[in-house]
Every structure is written in structure tokens, then in C-alpha cells.
Structure 1
Amino acid sequence: MSAIFFFVAGLALLVVGANALVSGASKLALSFGLSPLVVGLTVVAFGTSAPEMAVSTGAVLAGQGDVAVGNVIGSNIFNILVILGLSAVIVPLAVHVQVIRQEMPIMIGSALLFMAFSLDGVITFLEGAIMLALLVAYTAFLVIQARRAPAQAAADYEAELPAGRPQGWMGKWYVQVWFVIAGLMMLVQGAEWLVESAVTFARALGLSELIIGLTIVAAGTSLPEVAASLAAAFKGERDMAVGNVVGSCVFNILGCVGLGGLAAGIDGLPVATSVLNFDLWVMLAAFIACLPVFLSGREIARWEGGVFVGYYVAYVAYLILSAQEHSVLPAYSSVMLSFVLPITIITLVVVSIRQTKTQ
């Protein structure tokens, strides 16, 4: 009974917290002259990545470096394929030109940096410090860039929130800040309760620790991003929905891995060979797959969102089959590599070319 209570309470906190966070952050954007996109890339993204930060740092201090690295990579894959996918299924997501020209290259660049630092099998203390420094510089650059173009920020805000500037007590910046803080606290606590209760259900059903870890726990730290992005999509704040996902991916790599490298001390944060040979490449592929999707009319269509979600299901299925050394794995891998992936790539390229010709 307690598991059911915490499951329902956690779900309720996610819903309420997401609405409070998005409402406060969107109004805070106008108060400080920042666009919804920038707020999504910074305040919302960094805040909803708090569970990943807590899990990764705690795992490093407990001597479980593989958990820390796997949490970051798994969360990023989930962010792109599931959160963007589900948000687009709800409402086609218009992609701001800044995301295509600036944020996407930064996100892909951070993944390449992660891979380069991992080639020797460890993220050293110095490499972790470099990643954290880059995150601070990136955040400062976004805020300075937005402050230099207040008119554009106001225009972006009005385009997404036609109701205009908030009035009354919600027009006070400190009230908006408290909404953001309260929303973040509810998201983090709600995610924790939901994951713990879901694990209890899974064990009661006889599911293995492996399946629990690959599904519930891996996706659990991304629940705040899910709630925030879906709430933003429902509210029509599409820039914030996309910005939250992209910003969270950058924060997970530069922030969580960087802090993990520092917390690991002189021994460094270990990166398993299997992660370097497979999972890191899947994460990079998910990032790169966004480019043709974003460029096709500068939006993520519903069918494209559905494809993203489908690929995440295929990825998890592969992990489970691989871990169990199932006899179906060779045939499954062959079908994915020889049939599904090529058709998807060809379709995206054709759609992108057609869209370019019509513009």
C-alpha cells in the first residue's frame, strides 16, 4: 500500500511541480529580458537535471563509476528520443533558428569532447575541471547574449505567450523565482518517489535487477525533464520544451561528468570499454539525428517524434537481449542495421530535401 501511495504522490508532484516550474520560468524570462529558449536552456534544463547530478555524484563517491557514466549517457539518449519525441507527438515542435545554428553544434561538440576524454578509459581530474569550466562559460555566454537582445527576447516571449506580461503578484520577479524553486523541489522529490515505488512494483512482479536498471532507474532521473517538457508543450511554450532537452544534454555531459571527474580525485572517473564502443556512439547518433529532423521545416513533426520514441524502444530491447545473450539478438541486430536504420535515414534525407526546395 505504501508503494501505491508514493507512486500516486510522486506522479502528482511531477505534474504540479512541472506546471509551477514552467509557469514561473516563462514569466521570469520576460522579467529579466530573457527569451523562453534561453530560460529553457539554463534555468529549466539545469534544474531538471538535478537528479542526474545527484545520482552521478553519489555513484562516484560510492565507488560506482560505471553507474555515474551510464546514468549520463542513458539520460541523454532518453532526453532526445523519448522526451523530444513525446513532446512532438503532443504538438509539432517549432525549432528556433538559434538551436540549429548554435545549440546543436555545442551539444554535439560536448559529446565529441566526452568521447575524446574517454579514449584512455578515464575522465581525469583535469578533464573534469575543463568540462565544468566550459559549462560555466556556456551559461554565461547564453545570458550575456540574451541580455544584449532584449527586443528579440520580448518578441519570442510574445510569440509563445500571447497573453502578454504577467500582472499583479505574479508580475513580481521574486514570486516567479519561488515558483521555479518550488517546482524544481517538487520535480526532484516526485521523481524519487515514483522511481522507488516503480522499482518495488517491478520486484514484486519478479523482474530482474538488470531490467529494472535498464528501464525504470535509467529513465527515472529524466522524469523531471519529461514533466517539464511535456508541460511546456501543452502550454504552447515550444521553445522552452526544446531548450530544456538540449540544455539538459549539455549539462549532463559537462556538468555531471565534469563533477564526477572532480569527485573521483586522482584516480579519475572510469569509462568502461563497452560504453566507449557502443553506448557513447548511440548517444552521438541520437544527437546527430536531430539535425535533419530540425532542418526539415525547422520543426519536429509528429511522425518524426514517433520515430524517435520507436528507436528508444529498439535501443532498450537491444540492451536487454544483449545482457541476456538471447538467441534472437543476431537476427534483431541484422534487421535494425540492414533494414530499419537505412530506411529511416533515407526518409529523413528525402523529407529534408523536399522541405528545402519548398522554402
Structure 2
Amino acid sequence: MSILYVVIGLVLLVVGGEFLVRSSVALSFRLKLSKMVIGLTVVSFATSAPELLVSIQAALDGLSDISLGNVVGSNIANIGLVLGITAIIGPLAIDRDFYKFNWPVMVLLSFALYALLNDGVLSQIEGLVLFVSLLLYLFLLIRRARKFSDTMLEEVDDSLQKTSNFKIFMWLLIGGCALYFGSELLVKGAEDIALKLGVSEGVIAVTLIAVGTSVPELAASVIAALKQEKAISLGNLIGSNIFNIASVLGITSMIQPIAVKDETLMSVNIYWMLGFALVLLPLAFIPKKMVLTRPKGLLIFVSYVIFIALVFLK
């Protein structure tokens, strides 16, 4: 039954996330926001909603290990699993913005999270600091996007400009309900599985939940790579990691301070997150510059498999 809860929860989160993205974009068009702003902010916030709801639900239930493990695990999975498998299927080109802007911000926020968690709790003030840093990042991101106006925002669907108010309302309602009930079921299922397996909620969060919330990105990337279309960009994945820390944990801790209960999170898992973040830079330049080749993808993926194995062996 616990597995069923997790599966249904993940499905509801995916469905809810999709409806929320569509309704948010349609509403943004109604509010006369530019496509650039919608693509860089509204879509990003909406797509991080499933992780946010899971983290908030877990924190309110006193399961802070799930809140933190979800984010740390997702950030590891985005690089080790999604990026690794995508690069194995087909080499990925790396744009210059990667090391000039996105990567430094991700690394900075990753180390900031490590520093903030060292005292054993992510307080409301610290959450506010993270969220403000996200707003600053978005401000700089929009400025850069305007400077390099040739940037294509493919994720913004023009057809949503003609969406009726009734449809927007219904999509918001469906999305909100699906996200709420999906997060409830996922957290409950994860807690039950942890009890049955005799492991901490943090272990389930950093593996099962993290992989589950990364499935949409993984599926989209694999399909695109197999069709030899443009796969998910490195910038998008790094942006997702930035949002996970600054938005998901920032907002969650502003609502409910998050305590570090699982010692493994700070003694092991967060170092894996930092390692996966840091290794991207040398991989971008060695040996073939600005291309994530198949061997590099295999190296990243094997590292992720080792991480998962070590999590359960401890």
C-alpha cells in the first residue's frame, strides 16, 4: 500500500505540476507579462511546485529529513541521473553561460546551504535569505536574457495566450488539488516505506522521492535525445538545482524551520551534492571543451549509482 501511495502521489504531482505551469503561463499572459519574464520566472516557479509542496508538507508533519533529503537528493539526481543518462544517449553542447553565470550561482548556493545547515536548523531568517538570493538571481537572469535577446524560451507555449478565464481557473484548481493530495500521499507513503525497511525518512527522500520528482525531466530528456532533438539544457538543470535550494528550501523554512535530524545528510549526502556540482566545471573543459561526451555522462551516471548504493548500505 505504501508503494501505491508513493506512485499515486508522484503521478498527482506530475499532473498537478503540468496544470499549474499551464495555468500560471496563461494567467501571466493575461497580466501582460513578457514571454521572457514568463519563461524565466513563472515557468521556473511553477515547475518547482511539486518539490515545494512535498517539502512543506513534510516539514509541517515534522518530517524535516524528507524536506531536506528531497532537495539534496533532487539536486544530485538532476546531475547524476538526468544529465548522466542524457549525455550517454547523445553528447550535450555546453553554452558559455554555464561557467560564467549559472554554475557559479549553483555552487555558491550549494555551499551557502551547507553553511546554513551547520548549526542543525534552517531558520525562517535563513530561509528568507535564500529566497531573497533567488530574487536577485532572477533579476540578474532577466537582465542577461535581455542583453542576449537571441535566447529562445521554448518552454513558453504561445497558444496559452488565448486561454479563457474559466480554463485558467479550472487548471489552477486541478493543479492545486493534485499537488496538495499528491504531496500528502507521497510523504505518507515515504514515511511508511522507511518504517518497513528500517531506514530513515532521509534515505527514502534522497533516493525514491528525489528520483520520482526527477522522472519528468528524465523522460523528456531521454525522448528528446533518442529523437536527436535538443535535449534538456545544462542551464535548465542547473536552474532547477538553484530553485530547489533557494525557492523550495527558502519558502519551506520561512513557513516552518527545518531541523537536521538525519546525521547522514550533513556527514555524507550534502558532500555528494557539492561534489556533483563542482565536478561539472572540469568535465566541461576536460578533455573535449564545451561538450558533455558519452564517457563523461557515463562517469556521472556511475557515480550516481555508487551514491545510491552507499546510501542503502549505510
Aligned to 2:115: 116
Matched, 1:221 2:213: yes
| Residue of structure 2 equivalent to 1:276 | 266
Q: CA deviation at 1:11?
A: 7.4
Q: CA deviation at 1:277?
A: 1.8
**Does 2:229 correspond to 1:236?**
yes
CA distance in 1, matches of 2:306, 2:259: 27
If the length of structure 1 is used for normalisation, what is the TM-score?
Answer: 0.65
Letter in 2 for 1:237: K
Pick closer, same or farther for the CA change 1:120–1:318 going to 2, 3 Å. Answer: same
Q: Which has the larger radius of gyration?
A: 1
- Distance in 1, matches of 2:88 and 2:311, equals 25
Give structure 1 stretches of 5+ with no counterpart.
Answer: 323-359
Q: Deviations over 1:47-101 (max 9, x none)?
A: 3322211111111111121221111101111111001111212221111110121
Kindly tell me the number of residue pairs found equivalent between the two proteins: 291
Distance 2:45 2:269 in 1: 23
The equivalent of 1:328 in structure 2 is: none
RMSD of aligned alpha carbons: 4.5
Over the matched positions of the two proteins, sequence identity in percent amounts to 29
Q: Which residues of 2 match residues 1-359 of structure 1 at below 5 A?
A: 32=34, 34=36, 39=39, 42=41, 44-150=43-149, 152-153=150-151, 173-174=161-162, 192=182, 208=197, 210=199, 215-233=207-225, 234=227, 236-238=229-231, 240-264=232-256, 268-272=257-261, 273-295=263-285, 296-322=288-314
In structure 1, the residue corresponding to 2:289 is in which secondary structure?
coil
1:127 Cα deviation after fit: 0.8
Q: Structure 2: state its 5+ residue gaps.
A: none
- C-alpha distance in structure 2 between counterparts of 1:85 and 1:236, whole Å: 17
Hey, what's the Cα distance between the residues in 1 that align with 2:12 and 2:309? 29
Report the TM-score, using the length of structure 2 for normalisation: 0.73
User: Using the alignment, how far apart are the partners of 1:246 and 1:92 within structure 2?
Assistant: 17
- Letter matched to residue 197 of structure 2: S
Amino acid at match of 1:271: V
- Deviations 1:116-167 (CA, angstroms, capped at 9, x unpaired): 11121111211110101111121122123212332x32xx67xx99xxxx9x
CA contact (8 A) 2:88 2:293 kept: yes
Q: Counterpart of 1:140 in 2: which secondary structure?
A: helix
